Amino acid sequence: MNTPSRQIVVMASGTGSLLASLLEAADRPDFPARIAAVVTDRECRAQKLADDRGIASAVVSLRDYPDRAAWGKALLDEVSRHQPDFIVAAGFMKILDGEFIGRYRNRIINAHPALLPSFPGARAVADALAHGVRVTGSTIHLVDDGVDTGPILAQEPVIIRPDDDEQTLHERIKAVERDLLVRVVTDFATKSIDIQGRKARLL
């Protein structure tokens, strides 16, 4: 059995469905990385998923700090303590500050429930429905200093049905997103990345 050589910290905020898919993948002997820790910004199911697996977990809540700068430093310190080779933001609903992004430039992967650059931000599913588009999907991209503006690593479409509401559409996007994220993380752990401006390729 191969020993994973790459360390990942996963950051999450909610139900942990993306984290669960990564944990299942990490159980496979051929998965090329180890989930070293899960860091959340609130008490949530993602933390419990980590605890149930004996994976280190921590909550770094914004409300426990006097301002966002102090929270950002605490978050960076907690993540860095686990010495990750790269970081996966799997439903992490806080914007990272410049110091954090600078420390891990081109090593933070984010999953977004839309086909960027369309519908960035926290309301991506609702915005796609409100706009009346016929196709949306999932994007896996690198985090940069903007909001969902980093180089795109992979995308997969999801057709919007006439009877979709936000919940039904989001569930179908998440089903696609889980598989897509595992594939990208696997490639990111085993390949080199070539970035030319806004374009990124795993080689």
- Whose CA is closest to 149, among 118, 125, 122? 118
Q: Is the peptide bond before 117 cis (omega within 30 degrees of 0)?
A: yes
Q: Which of 82, 112, 131, 141 is catalytic?
A: 112
User: Catalytic annotation on 82?
Assistant: no
Locus of tokens 């799997």: 90
Task: Give CA 167 to chain center in angstroms.
Answer: 20
Residues contacting residue 197 through CB under 8 Å, at least 6 positions apart: none
Is the distance from CB of 110 to CB of 142 less than 8 angstroms? Answer: yes
Is the distance from CB of 141 to CB of 107 less than 8 angstroms? Answer: no
Q: Tell me the DSSP string of 17-86.
A: HHHHHHHHHHTSTT--EEEEEEEESSS-HHHHHHHHTT-EEEE--GGGSSSHHHHHHHHHHHHHTT--SE
Active site (catalytic) residues: 112
